[in-house]
Structures are given as structure tokens and as C-alpha cells.
Amino acid sequence: MYKNLTIMINKKIIFGLFLISTLGACGAPTAMLGPAYTFSSTGSALQSGFSYGSNELIKTYTGKTPLENLGEIATNNLTIQNNIKKQTLESEDFYQLVKKKIQMTKGKIKLSSQ
């Protein structure tokens, strides 16, 4: 039983190493998926070349892919929007507006209960 277990573990290790060695280079061709899709949808080799070139230019200039840059911009915008909302809720004008609306509602409730 112990012998079968070690054989099975060895087979899994060998299979795992085989997969890692054969699939290790799968990262590089995925960079061509975007331009390949552009070429297949538009049929323009020039447009797909510009797409690939601009992506590589952005990556070398910023150190991040265009998708990573968009993610960073989106998180920065959310932070700014949250700060604006917080400032609005803490402002004196907002406090006075809510206080006025509460007083108007109290007046309407008193009138309707008479």
C-alpha cells in the first residue's frame, strides 16, 4: 500500500513538472491575442500592428499594461468621488438643508394631525 502511494505521488510530481515545462511559455503568446482579435475582426494588419505597438509602448513607458493603468485610474476616481460625497455630507449647507426639510415635515405633520 505504501509503495502504491509513493508511485502515485511520484507520477503527480513528474506530471506537474512536465506541465510546468511545456506550458511555461504560454505567457508570451497571450500578448498577441489582442492584435490577433483586432486583425480577425477588422481584417486590417495595419490596425492590429498599431494596437500591438501602442500596447507595448504604454507598457515600456509606464511599466504596466494598459488594463492595469485603467484599473489604477478607476480606483483613483472612486477615491475622489468618495471624498466629495464625504465632504458634501459634512458640509454646513447640507446640515442646514436637512434641518429645514425636517422642520417643514414636522409642520406638515402637525397640520395633518389637527
Q: How far apart are CA 74 and CA 62, in angstroms?
A: 16
Helix 66-90 / helix 92-113 crossing angle, nearest 10 deg: 60
Q: How confident is the model at residue 92 (pLDDT cuts 50, 70, 90)?
A: confident
pLDDT digits (tens, 9 = 90+) for 80-90: 666 677 777 78
Burial class (CB in 10 A: 0-12, 13-18, 19+), 87: exposed
**How confident is the model over 34-58, as a mean pLDDT?**
76
Q: How far apart are CA 105 and CA 113, in angstroms?
A: 12
Q: Is the pLDDT of residue 100 over 80?
A: yes
Count CB neighbours of 48 within 10 A: 20
Sketch the domain layout of the chain as residue ranges. 1-63, 78-114
